[in-house]
């Protein structure tokens, strides 16, 4: 189907570059500051935005995003605010894909149908749920698909050829390759390992392949962008918000612009 995600990946491919996917936590440092930070991501050149749903026990996330969750929850952010932020973003940025990323508890506590309907109503394009393995996805995936919302699945360095078809079954939008067997923001996978993993995934699916976890610099983003369809940067942006609080937007925009510029330049050089 043609939608914001597929349209955006196609546009980036036509420009000969990977999509820049940026992550921030909703309500960090507070709900009032988040719209300006989201606008800064778009202004800086982010192609797709992941909006984290704050949660008390984020098992895949490292210290930077853990602190972002605590700042957000401490300021009173609730699920209703996340959807309000998404709907508000959609009115300002009708073409930019928005993904919600988070954990099963906030997504399912009111039921998967309720969550899927809220996503659709707010203009959310896709959902990444970190802690529902595909083997146990009897509720969320079917509800999202029925609402026309992508379920973006995760593949890791330990996802072998036997399990990959299960991961891909019901996945849509793109496939998120977690580059390290660990938490966000702490270490960077070897480029050679990423290249091998992306090649295996591309042989198994036509979905775009985005690579994240541990990507912190324009140079790292550029290297991954030469082989992947998308590059995800989160903790490095969240660190900027942690440092600057509600004044973070211009600093976020400047950093995202450096990432965007590196992706564009790296592809142009390799294509020359």
Active site residues: 50, 61
Q: Residue 228 in contact with residue 201, Cβ under 8 Å?
A: no
State which H helix or E strand residue 101 sits in. strand 98-102
State which H helix or E strand residue 8 sits in. helix 4-14
Edge-to-edge strand list for the sheet holding 209-212 = 150-151, 126-129, 98-102, 48-52, 19-25, 230-233, 209-212, 175-178, 153-155
Instruction: Residue 217: count other Cβ atoms within 10 Å of its Cβ.
Output: 15
Distance from C-alpha of 179 to C-alpha of 235, rounded to nearest angstrom: 14
């Amino acid at each position: 189907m043609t939608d914001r995600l597929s349209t955006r990946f196609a546009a980036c491919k036509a420009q000969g570059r990977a999509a820049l996917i940026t992550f921030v936590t909703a309500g960090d440092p507070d709900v009032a500051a988040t719209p300006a930070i989201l606008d800064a991501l778009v202004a800086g050149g982010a192609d797709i935005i992941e909006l984290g749903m704050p949660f008390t026990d984020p098992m895949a996330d490292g210290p930077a995003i853990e602190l972002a969750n605590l700042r957000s929850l401490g300021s009173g952010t609730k699920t209703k605010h996340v959807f309000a932020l998404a709907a508000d973003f959609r009115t300002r940025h009708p073409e930019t894909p928005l993904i919600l990323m988070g954990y099963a508890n906030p997504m399912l506590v009111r039921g998967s149908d309720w969550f899927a309907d809220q996503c659709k109503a707010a203009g959310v394009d896709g959902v990444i749920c970190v802690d529902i393995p595909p083997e146990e996805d009897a509720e969320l995936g079917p509800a999202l698909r029925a609402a026309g919302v992508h379920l973006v699945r995760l593949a890791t360095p330990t996802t072998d050829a036997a399990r990959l078809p299960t991961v891909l079954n019901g996945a849509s939008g793109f496939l998120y390759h977690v580059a390290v067997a660990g938490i966000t923001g702490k270490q960077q996978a070897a480029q050679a390992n990423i290249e091998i993993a992306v090649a295996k995934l591309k042989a198994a699916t036509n979905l775009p392949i985005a690579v994240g976890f541990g990507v912190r610099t324009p140079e790292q983003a550029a290297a991954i962008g030469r082989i992947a369809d998308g590059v995800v940067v989160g903790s490095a942006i969240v660190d900027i918000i942690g440092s600057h609080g509600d004044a973070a937007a211009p600093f976020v925009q400047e950093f995202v612009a450096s990432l965007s510029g590196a992706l564009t330049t790296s592809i142009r050089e390799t294509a020359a």
